[in-house]
Amino acid sequence: MARTKQKRLIIRTSILVVLVAAIVYTIYTSATKEKIEVLGIGDEAPNFKLVDLDGEEHRLSDYKGQGVFLNFWGTWCKPCAKEMPAMDRQYEVFKDQGVQTLAVNIAQSDFEVQRFTDQYGLDFPVVIDKTKSVMEAYNINPLPTTMLINSEGKIEKIITGEMTEQDIASFMELIKPE
Amino acid sequence: MTLVSISGNLLFIAFVCYLVATLFFGGAVKGSKTETTNFEKRWGRIGIVVTIIGFISNLGYFVTRWIAAGHAPVSNLFEFTTAFGMMIVGAFILIYFLYKTPLLGLFALPIAIIIIGFASMFPRDINPLIPALKSYWLYIHVITAALGESILAMSAVAGLIYLTKNIDLTKKSKQRFWLEAVMFTLVLTLGFVAASSTFKFMDYEASFNYIDKEQKAEEITYDMPPIFGMNEYEALTPGTMEPLAETPPIVNAKKLTTVTWSLIFGIVLYGLIRLIIRKPISALLQPLAKKANSQLMDEIGYRAVLIGFPVFTLGALIFAMIWAQEAWSRFWGWDPKEVWALITWLFYAAFLHLRLSKGWQGEKSAWLAVIGFIIIMFNLIAVNLIIAGLHSYA
Amino acid sequence: MNKIICACGHENPEGTVLCGNCGRPLTEEAENLKLVDMRYEGSARRSQTYNKSIVDKIWNFFSSVRVGVWLIVIILVAAAIGTILPQVLYVPATVEADIAAYYERVYGTFGKIYYELGLSDLYGSWWFQTLIGMLGISLIVASLDRVIPLYKSLKKQRTRRHESFMKRQRLFAIGENKLGEETLTRSEQKLTELGYHVKREDGAVLGERGRFSRWGPYINHLGLIIFLFGVMLRALPGFYVDETMWIREGETRAIPETPGFYLESKEFILETYDKDQADDVFDEAIDRVGTIASNYQTDVVLYKKPEDALPGQTDKLEEVKKDSIQVNEPLKFDGFAVYQMDFRLDELRTMHFDLSNKASGESLGELSIDLVEPETHYDLGNGAEVELLRYYPDFSGFEDGEPQTKSPVPNNPAFLVKMTTPETPEGETSFVAIKQTVEPFGENEFKLEFKNVDTRDVSGLTIRKDKTLWILALGGLIFMIGVAQGSYWNHRRIWIHETKDGRLAVAAHTNKNWLNVKKDLDAVTEAASLPPYDDQQDLEALEEKKDGEKSS
């Protein structure tokens, strides 16, 4: 008698616990769904191939062994414009320390991108993602977004929003190869 | 004669047949206590024959209109509501052959008549299908849903008869009040029909400019004298009534005016009826309802839900979800029409549980059946005309 | 737990109402009832037998039908509240701040309160989902609690029941055994004829039919549970993709969240019903409504990038197929579906200008600026040329004297140009926008005069992948089977036995549709000359019978 009572208690408890856990999990995930990133820290940064304004190809894999400061931007995005000069200066500082900078423009015309780089005197390579495929691969939503990729090709950090020059310097420092 | 006009005539014939059949059913019921003498049987038989003739004519309207339009005639409010009325008659015929109750016809046919009358107040022109409706799911989903709803409607008819018979109308009570309220609502619907017909007959039109809720300038044409004016209205048609009040932008003053006129006509109509018959409508109908066997009405009410609930689920939910997935990429979007279909489904599920598990029979069950029908009507009328959404093709 | 021992010797679990063996009422309450409650064959619902620990109490809570009905009603009312004002999904704003502003602006204070209370996103709210979750638990617990005892009872039910059971059935007869030995045999025969499953033992006959319909409710509950399970699965990553993309005619774009697939829009087509070409039948409607769309579709080419290619590499794309995406006809590939949802007509594509002399109006030539890939220099011949200094696709005003653009979409194109002509070799600078020309360095002799513009359409597509669909479909199918099984068939039983004093007792029960079982009982009564039965619940009929007996 006590044994069947015991068995019943176990069965009932387990059923209830499983059900409640499943429901809580579902509600929690659906509440936080928008904030879950498809690509997260520690993931391997997807390789890609894009062409810059001089017609040269850039692959992420070209920079293997170095840190990559990957910035996604557009000319209409004011914070992007604001941080570009700082980015340029820090690029100069770190490019011989093993940190490369690559700016990916989201599907704008060659004209606009060229004018922009001329206006700000940008020296780092700027490529245009005409079909937005790299943007999709990296699941970029707001601009500016910067991906910090370390020398092993993994994502170290994801930054959305404007960066100060100090921020940029410290981020580049972060992905300096050992 | 074009196919369209033949179609319209057939509908009219059906309408008249239902009216005549109602009279015959009334006669069949009015006889002696047990509805079993030859006199009543004959009247009942004539009644059902006339009903069937009307139904065949109604089907004829449906088929000819289908051929003329090139698609199933269930694509706008007029077409759908007319089909719904037709199916209510069909459901009644089915139940009549199972249970042989002319009294059911006396209550069911007038409701079908009111519904078809209501439908006729809306634009009747045949319109070509918009892209979203171009699918065979139009037939499958809409027709099955209408069928399910009409069977469920029969439970409300049986419930109404049960209530009319069993509520003590000599004493003041909540039940007595609400029963008469149901009758009043039916008269209000007639009020809408009366108001629309009167002003249509007068060819009334009044146009206005106004500012809508998005601060855009728009134009609107009323087909009834404008009791309420739109937000910041400006009259365009000379010689029409000056609105008594202006409404804020989120309120559609034209619809409010239509509702108000229906209320006015309905109340006047109800008042006249009360004056003539000198008692509540339920009291007028009670002697007729008393002929019914309560147990039988209860059984019919319950069986109608049992038969109709699966059909309704299939048509209004399952087929609807399949079609929504194909057309709108998501099988459920919580838009008002979908939500109210779900509410209807949940309500009848609650009905069945209360009946089967909690023993809610008799009067409780009858009230639930009537409420269920009100929810269906709300979905048809309020959700289509007032709460707009992806779904309202009115 | 105490067992109840019946007079017939059978041990029944606590809470049993009718003896599982002979059917005698075991509780005083049941004895006092005129008609016994046959819902679970009088067996104890599991939750009634154990209610000691907190787990049991929670279990009993969810097992209760009353609680279930309350949950249904609360969900019903909550859902209705969500239809009062449009939900956030249907509001034309994406950022939180815009959404809040929309509700207040359009619906006033009521709208503001509605939004603040979270009612504007009701169906996604945690409390609504919790209610549904509770309903799910209730479905599972309530079904388990009932179906197991019911199954056991029906399986071991005995043919011969005690008289106290029989006389508490709704259809009951007791009277003379007219045919003696023959009665049971004839009854057996007739029952079998009517499709009943017949058992005979101990001077008693049990005819049973349609027991499978009793499982209907539990099967439909199972269907609902599977359906809810499918809905829950969407929370898991990878099961559900819901993206939108806007694509312009001529563009090739990567399809969001689909690995390696690209879409090129060849053309967007909008067709409306033309009065002249459409059936005459539609004339009135077209007159009344105006334009009625007959079709919108996007003609696309689907590409896949080759295995070794990387994102961004668009030169070696392989064509997969061509398709026309229409409403009701999505493009399907690889578990994904792309739907035609929305469109925007006439986005600006190429603007044509004349370089003209302001005074004389004479044109020195034409230039066309492609808004997607503008050129830097436009040579008009005869010594005139225009240099495009700056391009602002979506001009939004000046800030510190600098023109600004608020997006890359050519909604309001503006250009900063330098015009060089033989008469003005140093060049003149002008800022040209729609309906606005600014000459920053003093008045110019020449200007760019707008001639016309080429446009192109934009298609709004929705990309969907839903791995849970088949589970939902399965749940729906099982639900329909269960609900049909339970609604369209019924479980009928007829008991006939010889009493100890040589009379005959007859009883019948069905879980629904008494008319049918009465018809069957009528047939058997006639075939075996059974005593006539009474419907003990139809008081009106009983009254009539009494009246009839009195007067005769």
Question: Residue C334 and residue C467: Cα distance in Å, rounded?
Answer: 11
Q: Is C343 in the B-facing interface, judged by CB distances under 8 Å? A: no
Question: Residue B26 and residue B40: Cα distance in Å, rounded?
Answer: 10
The pLDDT of residue C552 is: 46
Those of residues 232-291 in B touching chain C at CB distance below 8 A are 248-250
Same domain, residue pair B192 and B317: no
Our CA-based measurement puts residue C35 at a distance from the nearest CA of chain A, in whole angstroms, of 33
How sure is the predictor about C198, in pLDDT bands with cuts at 50, 70 and 90? very high
Interchain CB distance below 8 Å, C312 and A48 = yes
For residue B256, the Cα-to-chain-centroid distance in whole angstroms is 20
Give the list of residues 6+ apart from residue B380 with CB closer than 8 angstroms, or none: B80, B81, B84
Q: Count residue pairs from B and C with Cβ separation < 8 A.
A: 155
Contacts of B353 in chain C (CB under 8 A): 65, 68-69, 72
Question: Residue C150 and residue C222: Cα distance in Å, rounded?
Answer: 16
Same domain, residue pair B73 and B214: no
Phi–psi pair at C83, nearest 5 degrees: -100, 0
- Joined together, the tokens standing for residue A55 give 């017609």
Same domain, residue pair B139 and B214: no
Average pLDDT over residues C293-317: 84
The pLDDT of residue B393 is: 46
Query: Residue B155: inside a domain, yes or no?
Result: yes
Helix (H, G, I), strand (E, B) or coil at A47: coil
Where does A33-105 have alpha helices with state H?
78-94
Neighbour-count burial of B192, counting CB atoms closer than 10 A to its CB (0-12 exposed, 13-18 middle, 19+ buried): buried
Q: CA-nearest residue of chain B to C240?
A: B330
List, as one string, the DSSP characters of C175-203. E--SSTTHHHHHHHHHHHHTT-EEEEETT
Helix (H, G, I), strand (E, B) or coil at C37: coil
- Joined together, the tokens standing for residue C171 give 């259809």
Contacts of C310 in chain A (CB under 8 A): 47-49, 59
Contacts of A22 in chain C (CB under 8 A): 232
Asked if B377 and B152 count as a contact pair (C-beta separation under 8 A), the reply is no
- pLDDT over threshold 80, residue C313: no
The pLDDT of residue C492 is: 94
Interchain touch B–A (≥3 Cβ pairs closer than 8 Å): no
List, as one string, the DSSP characters of C99-127. HHHHHHHHHHHHHHHHHHTTGGG-TTSHH
- pLDDT over threshold 90, residue C24: no
Name the residue with higher pLDDT: C180 or B390.
Answer: C180
Asked if B167 and B297 count as a contact pair (C-beta separation under 8 A), the reply is no
Average pLDDT over residues C120-142: 93
Asked if C535 and C518 count as a contact pair (C-beta separation under 8 A), the reply is yes
Asked if C386 and C418 count as a contact pair (C-beta separation under 8 A), the reply is yes
Phi–psi pair at C400, nearest 5 degrees: 55, 40
Phi–psi pair at C291, nearest 5 degrees: -80, 130
How sure is the predictor about C426, in pLDDT bands with cuts at 50, 70 and 90? confident
pLDDT in tens, C106-121: 888 888 999 999 899 9
Give the list of residues 6+ apart from residue C447 with CB closer than 8 angstroms, or none: C355, C356, C358, C419, C430, C432, C437
Question: Residue C114 and residue C117: Cα distance in Å, rounded?
Answer: 5
The pLDDT of residue A131 is: 87
**Which of A52, A104, A111, A119 should be substituted to probe chain C, the one whose Cβ sees the most C Cβ atoms within 10 Å?**
A111
How sure is the predictor about C18, in pLDDT bands with cuts at 50, 70 and 90? confident
CA dihedral A114, A115, A118, A122 (to 10 degrees): -60
Same domain, residue pair B178 and B298: no
Same domain, residue pair B153 and B202: no
Name the residue with higher pLDDT: A157 or C310.
Answer: A157
- pLDDT over threshold 80, residue C415: yes
Contacts of A111 in chain C (CB under 8 A): 373-376, 388, 391
Same domain, residue pair B194 and B293: no
Q: Subunits with at least 3 CB pairs below 8 A relative to chain C?
A: A, B
Nearest residue to A59 via CA among A136, A146, A153: A153
Same domain, residue pair B89 and B165: yes
Our CA-based measurement puts residue C76 at a distance from the nearest CA of chain B, in whole angstroms, of 5
The pLDDT of residue A68 is: 92
Asked if A106 and C408 count as a contact pair (C-beta separation under 8 A), the reply is yes
Name the residue with higher pLDDT: C380 or B39.
Answer: C380
Same domain, residue pair B80 and B210: no
- Residues forming a β-bridge with C370: C350
- pLDDT over threshold 60, residue A1: no
Q: Is B381 in the C-facing interface, judged by CB distances under 8 Å? A: no
Nearest residue to A117 via CA among A148, A94, A87, A141: A87
Instruction: Give me the residue from A16, A74, A129 closest to C312, CB to CB.
Output: A129
Asked if A171 and A146 count as a contact pair (C-beta separation under 8 A), the reply is yes
Calculate the alpha carbon distances from A80 to A48, A74, C45, C351 in Å: 22, 7, 68, 28
Question: Residue C134 and residue C140: Cα distance in Å, rounded?
Answer: 10
Q: Is B382 in the C-facing interface, judged by CB distances under 8 Å? A: no
The pLDDT of residue C548 is: 65
Nearest residue to B4 via CA among B51, B48, B70: B70
The pLDDT of residue C216 is: 94
Query: Residue B163: inside a domain, yes or no?
Result: yes
pLDDT in tens, C336-378: 999 998 898 889 999 999 888 888 888 888 889 999 889 999 9
Helix (H, G, I), strand (E, B) or coil at C410: coil
Query: Residue B290: inside a domain, yes or no?
Result: yes
Helix (H, G, I), strand (E, B) or coil at B49: helix
The pLDDT of residue C50 is: 56
Question: Residue B161 and residue B293: Cα distance in Å, rounded?
Answer: 10
For residue C207, the Cα-to-chain-centroid distance in whole angstroms is 42
Of A76-85, B376-385, C235-244, the one with minimum mean pLDDT is C235-244
- Please give the angle made by the CA atoms of A105, A111 and A115, to the nearest 5 degrees: 85
Contacts of B131 in chain C (CB under 8 A): 293-296, 326-328
The pLDDT of residue B383 is: 84
Calculate the alpha carbon distances from C307 to A85, C261, C304, C336, C483 in Å: 38, 11, 9, 19, 49
- Residues forming a β-bridge with C322: C301
Contacts of A112 in chain C (CB under 8 A): 374, 391, 393, 408
Q: CA-nearest residue of chain B to C64?
A: B357
- Joined together, the tokens standing for residue C44 give 């104890």
Question: Residue C172 and residue C168: Cα distance in Å, rounded?
Answer: 8
Contacts of B329 in chain C (CB under 8 A): 242, 330, 337, 339, 341, 462, 464
Query: Residue B19: inside a domain, yes or no?
Result: yes
- pLDDT over threshold 60, residue C551: no
Consecutive sets of 10 residues in chain B, 394 residues long: mean pLDDT of each?
86 94 88 58 88 96 92 91 95 90 91 93 86 87 95 95 92 92 90 89 86 81 86 82 82 85 92 92 89 89 93 96 89 90 96 89 94 92 72 46
Average pLDDT over residues C63-89: 92
pLDDT in tens, A6-27: 888 888 899 999 999 999 988 8
Asked if B319 and B136 count as a contact pair (C-beta separation under 8 A), the reply is no
Name the residue with higher pLDDT: C22 or C410.
Answer: C410
Q: CA-nearest residue of chain B to C480?
A: B310
Contacts of B306 in chain C (CB under 8 A): 487-488, 512
Q: CA-nearest residue of chain B to C326?
A: B131
* Number of structural domains in chain B: 2
Query: Residue B382: inside a domain, yes or no?
Result: no
Asked if A126 and A51 count as a contact pair (C-beta separation under 8 A), the reply is no
Our CA-based measurement puts residue A118 at a distance from the nearest CA of chain C, in whole angstroms, of 11
Average pLDDT over residues C314-319: 80
pLDDT in tens, C436-488: 788 888 888 888 888 889 999 999 999 998 889 999 999 999 999 999 999 99
**Residue type at position C452:** N
Where does B293-362 have alpha helices with state H?
294-312, 320-328, 336-356
- Please give the angle made by the CA atoms of B66, B67 and B68, to the nearest 5 degrees: 95
Interchain CB distance below 8 Å, B327 and C82 = no
The pLDDT of residue C402 is: 84
Contacts of A62 in chain C (CB under 8 A): none
The pLDDT of residue C27 is: 80
The pLDDT of residue B42 is: 82
Interchain touch A–C (≥3 Cβ pairs closer than 8 Å): yes
Same domain, residue pair B13 and B146: yes
Same domain, residue pair B149 and B14: yes
Across chain A, mean pLDDT equals: 87
Residues above pLDDT 70, as percent of chain C: 97
Residues above pLDDT 90, as percent of chain C: 34
Q: Is B385 in the C-facing interface, judged by CB distances under 8 Å? A: no
Residue spans of the domains in chain A: they are 1-36, 49-174
For residue C270, the Cα-to-chain-centroid distance in whole angstroms is 29
Give the list of residues 6+ apart from residue B299 with CB closer than 8 angstroms, or none: C513, C514, C515
Range of the domain at B90: 3-169+280-332
Interchain CB distance below 8 Å, B353 and C65 = yes
Across chain C, mean pLDDT equals: 86
Phi–psi pair at B186, nearest 5 degrees: -60, -40
Instruction: For domain A49-174, give the fold.
Output: Glutaredoxin (3.40.30)
Query: Residue B357: inside a domain, yes or no?
Result: no
Query: Residue B345: inside a domain, yes or no?
Result: no
Query: Residue B21: inside a domain, yes or no?
Result: yes
The pLDDT of residue B389 is: 47
Give the list of residues 6+ apart from residue C89 with CB closer than 8 angstroms, or none: B333, B334
Average pLDDT over residues C177-189: 85
- pLDDT over threshold 50, residue C507: yes
Q: Is the dihedral of CA B290, B294, B299, B301 positive or negative?
A: positive
